[in-house]
Structure 1
Amino acid sequence: MGFVAGALPGEEVEAEVQEVRRNFWRGRTVAVLAPSRERVLAPSQECPGCDWGHFDLAAARAAKRALFLETMQRIGKLPPEFFGDLPIALSPLSHRIRNRFHLEGRGGELVLGQFAARTHRVEPIGECRALTPQTAALLPSVRDALAATGATLSEVATLEDFPGDRRLARATLGDTGKRQARVEADAVLHALGPFFEGVRVVDGEGALLREAGEKRLPLEVGGRTFLVSVDTFFQGNRHLARQLLTDVANASGTPAGDALDAFGGVGFFAAALLDAGHSTTSVEGSASAARDAAKTRLTWPDADRWRIVPSSVGGFLSSSPKRFDLVVADPPRTGLARLAVPLGERARRRFVYVSCDPATLARDLAELSGVGFRVADARLYDLFPLTHRVESVVTLLRGAGAA
């Protein structure tokens, strides 16, 4: 079996084999000999960060739904009928509010872009339909300003508000000595200042070297304002954030009760739970996110029902025996893993799982079914159009039948 990046089902392509494993091989498309009717761009036109940029959007969404169901069956042993109609929320393009750009070279040889598929070779972005027009227009000037510093850089991360008018940046320096790092950090801070309201410069280990300007951006979703720093995770799709918030609020159920918001971040899903009337405990292991959540909490009128615990989820479960009426979990791409069963055991009635990776979700749903949960509702969100990735919200009820 082979997997060919840049090819679509039914196409005839010329491919280069890049990796051979025992049961499969991987390769990349070199030339398309007989294109599919669902192909919309030639490979030479694709943004390196948009691995499905060549796939018609409607066809890509259908493929994501089919792949999701296949993954649930193959890994979780959960048949398609468990997931009901499985609607998928659509997103317009120019959707990203969070970006990571990689850099390679120095001075006039500096390249600002993204990694080519399955490599650490940086390729220029060119025209990327995922970026807002404002960010896309800014990148050539940002690249030129950084090139003029002569600094060695590995990454620039950005965060912008929903209108796309305000933005923060974090620049990561490459390998250099401490004294040189301080000199380069000053130069990079000065270079990025005209383009961003706040700038942080860190070394390769993430230690802060220099910062200036605003530390947080106010991001407004569903009538609430979140104060978010460039270091903190936040839902990256400007178009679907409100729907995701509303759907999780609806999934949290009635009557209102005590809710655990695991991997709570800046409080995005805490907002959904508070809107639904629940008293909420958010647990977050990232110091940056926990600080942002604390700042955000100060601005909310119902903050008395929101408790923030700066701790890993595992650490919290070890230190507190409390059970909750419901648990909302939005783990990183690696999923819950060994935390699936302990978290499930803390939920009396309901478990809402927000996932960006179907494979780890399928594994964890199988574990949760072992402690008495059954799928009651499932929804997909095309938060990452132009890529193979898909977001999902799965609602489980203790002892409930399949959807």
Structure 2
Amino acid sequence: MSLEKNSIHEGIITGYESGGMGVCRLDGQVVFVERGVRGDRCRLRIVKALKNKAYARIEELLEPSPHRQEPCCPAFPKCGGCDFWHMQYEEELFAKRQRVQDALERLGGQSVPELEIVGGENFHYRNKAMYPCATEEGRPVAGFYRRRSHQVIPQENCAIQSPLADQLKEGVLRWAETCGVSIYEEETGRGFLRHIYVRTGKQGALLTLVVTSWKVPQPEKLIALCRESCPPLVGIVLNKNTRQTNRVLGEECRTLWGEGRLQDSLCGVEFSLSPLSFYQVNQPQAQRLYEQAVEYAAFSPEDTLLDLYCGTGTITLVMARHCREAVGVEIVPQAVEDARENARQNGITNTRFLCADAGQAAQQLLEEGFRPTVMVVDPPRKGLDEKAREILLRMNPRRVVYVSCDPATMARDIRQLTEGGYRLEKVRAFDLFPRTANVETVVLLLRETNPLTVEIRMEVETGEVKEHPTYKRIQEYVQEKYGFKVHTAYIAEVKRMVGLDMHKAPNAVEQRKHEYHPCPPEKVEAIKDALRHFGLIAE
């Protein structure tokens, strides 16, 4: 049997690939079938034939799967926002569970026969909508892109977005049509209105217009129409983006009316969200995921936490209440500012946030002597970078909670961490994005009973074992004995001065507001005294 392009074959869908396409086998080859459902018996047309696999579409559904359903969304499948309206939700959860399980077993080398997935509400669960704008028959429209294109499919009532978002979208479109507002054209870079961006929360809704100029046509009309269409509106913000790029948001925002931020809460912590802030789009499911992460972390009051890729500090701040100290690391400056402000507003004082690459920050913390007992990593889709994995293993935390948005890169990282001395203890998947192919996973890794490294100092004469002091303990010693504070950079400088091991300059993470000056002589002597006190240098 030949699997040439446009050839017709009969087959049965037996499972799913990672993006949610149906899978069947024809003549020993794997065939990926768009919108196929497990159990479908169908006639397939091959649309692309490769050496070891092929892609097909359903030409005729001979016997529908019992898991198949009629889509409730009129824009499906033209709109590229959703993937799974053609199947029952329980089957969607099966597909996502299979995706995580296959990744862990095939790529991660782990056995997870009892993997559980936590489902959520299918409808109107998203608290964030970004509608690209376009012109259709001379009128402004907004919706979502057609799959694999930048053609806008107009949407009136999106099944997964908040009704407030749709209401505001319609208010903006009425203003744009009434006032003759020009719509941005990707091809030419001309036009004023690019995207309508709505964020919703317990307080109401915040509208952001992505525009190419700060000069808004008839702003009073815009404000009136939006307040009329959505009474819970708390503010209207402008975001300027003049670049010809696929990136939606520019770097600068200005408040046109009302509040420039939206308040929301997650696991008892209040968050102040700017248009540029990252925040989970499914608040109820995110809360369940974070509660699971806290349970896996199993904090004691003396535990210390390192949260890599912390974003605006959501996990850091939720977990900070359960441990002695929490450090969050994030590379985006605006996110770090938001994290610090959220900590301040909530009165959480046992946190600090570093603006840096995850691997770079972990290296500095390692040099400072910071050894977290619990580490949380929530990396982007590419997973942990090599430096972050290396430093994690050197820090050797007792427990690692890995939060993942990509099962394949998570499985790769878990394989390397288990080879480095950890074991996979627990795993649970969460559906934060019902009706799309995305799935989140929370994994608990435990350090094996014989850790890879233990950093201690042995005094041979007395047999005394001294724990390696952290930079914080050195700072506390100096403060108590001499009455002044010393920066971690000064401690690192003195350690290099006396010949103690240093991997690289530790000043690359915390962004200084002032030019760095060498450590003053009196502080050099105080730090040397602390190093002698802790047995790091001779008397």
State the TM-score, normalized to the length of structure 2.
0.65
CA distance in structure 1 between the aligned counterparts of 2:391 and 2:424, rounded to whole angstroms: 18
Amino acid in the other structure paired with 1:328:
V
CA distance in structure 1 between the aligned counterparts of 2:100 and 2:389, rounded to whole angstroms: 20
CA contact (8 A) 2:378 2:403 kept: yes
1:69 aligns with 2:114: no
CA distance in structure 1 between the aligned counterparts of 2:365 and 2:170, rounded to whole angstroms: 51
1:99 aligns with 2:129: yes
The correspondence for 2:295, drawn from 242, 250, 257, is 250
| Partner in structure 2 of residue 176 of structure 1 | none
| Partner in structure 2 of residue 226 of structure 1 | 271
How many residue pairs match? The answer is: 387
Pair 199,24 (structure 1): closer, same or farther in 2 beyond 3 Å: farther
Identical amino acids, percent of aligned pairs: 26
| Partner in structure 2 of residue 156 of structure 1 | 196
CA contact (8 A) 1:218 1:227 kept: yes
Q: Deviations over 1:264-308 (max 9, x none)?
A: 11221112321322410011111221121121111223x221111
Deviation at 1:26, TM superposition (A): 4.2
| Partner in structure 2 of residue 348 of structure 1 | 397
The correspondence for 2:311, drawn from 241, 250, 265, is 265
Deviation at 1:384, TM superposition (A): 0.7
Deviation at 1:130, TM superposition (A): 1.1
CA distance in structure 1 between the aligned counterparts of 2:147 and 2:82, rounded to whole angstroms: 9
1:337 aligns with 2:382: no
CA contact (8 A) 1:39 1:56 kept: yes
CA contact (8 A) 1:12 1:35 kept: yes
**Bigger relative contact order, structure 1 or 2 (CA pairs below 8 A, ≥6 apart):** 1
Q: CA RMSD in A?
A: 2.8
- State how 1:252-331 maps to structure 2 within 5 Å: 252-256=297-301, 257-301=303-347, 303-321=348-366, 322-331=370-379
- State how 1:38-53 maps to structure 2 within 5 Å: 38-42=67-71, 45-46=75-76, 47-53=79-85
Deviation at 1:353, TM superposition (A): 0.6
Amino acid in the other structure paired with 1:71:
A
Q: Deviations over 1:199-246 (max 9, x none)?
A: 132214424274434232111122220111121111111222322222
CA distance in structure 1 between the aligned counterparts of 2:56 and 2:390, rounded to whole angstroms: 37
Deviation at 1:157, TM superposition (A): 2.9
| Partner in structure 2 of residue 125 of structure 1 | 155
Amino acid in the other structure paired with 2:112:
P
Deviation at 1:371, TM superposition (A): 1.5
User: Which structure has the larger Rg over C-alpha atoms?
Assistant: 2
CA distance in structure 1 between the aligned counterparts of 2:155 and 2:45, rounded to whole angstroms: 22
CA contact (8 A) 1:182 1:209 kept: no
**Stretches of structure 1 lacking an aligned partner (at least 5 in a row):** 174-180
CA distance in structure 2 between the aligned counterparts of 1:251 and 1:158, rounded to whole angstroms: 34
Deviation at 1:113, TM superposition (A): 1.4
**Stretches of structure 2 lacking an aligned partner (at least 5 in a row):** 1-29, 185-192, 228-232, 244-249, 451-539
Give the 3-state SS of the residue equivalent to 2:373 in structure 1. Answer: strand
Give the 3-state SS of the residue equivalent to 2:423 in structure 1. Answer: strand
CA contact (8 A) 2:261 2:273 kept: yes
Pair 79,212 (structure 1): closer, same or farther in 2 beyond 3 Å: same
Give the 3-state SS of the residue equivalent to 2:213 in structure 1. Answer: helix
| Partner in structure 2 of residue 178 of structure 1 | none
- State how 1:377-392 maps to structure 2 within 5 Å: 377-392=426-441
| Partner in structure 2 of residue 177 of structure 1 | none
Amino acid in the other structure paired with 1:352:
V
1:236 aligns with 2:236: no
Pair 71,190 (structure 1): closer, same or farther in 2 beyond 3 Å: farther
Amino acid in the other structure paired with 2:93:
R
CA contact (8 A) 1:48 1:114 kept: yes
Amino acid in the other structure paired with 2:404:
S
Pair 142,107 (structure 1): closer, same or farther in 2 beyond 3 Å: farther
Amino acid in the other structure paired with 1:182:
S
| Partner in structure 1 of residue 512 of structure 2 | none
Deviation at 1:116, TM superposition (A): 2.0
| Partner in structure 2 of residue 363 of structure 1 | 412
Deviation at 1:198, TM superposition (A): 3.1
Pair 359,191 (structure 1): closer, same or farther in 2 beyond 3 Å: farther
Give the 3-state SS of the residue equivalent to 1:235 in structure 2. Answer: coil
Amino acid in the other structure paired with 1:156:
I
CA distance in structure 1 between the aligned counterparts of 2:295 and 2:410, rounded to whole angstroms: 21
Give the 3-state SS of the residue equivalent to 1:387 in structure 2. Answer: coil
Pair 51,230 (structure 1): closer, same or farther in 2 beyond 3 Å: same
Deviation at 1:324, TM superposition (A): 1.2
Amino acid in the other structure paired with 1:119:
S
CA contact (8 A) 1:335 1:364 kept: yes
1:139 aligns with 2:188: no
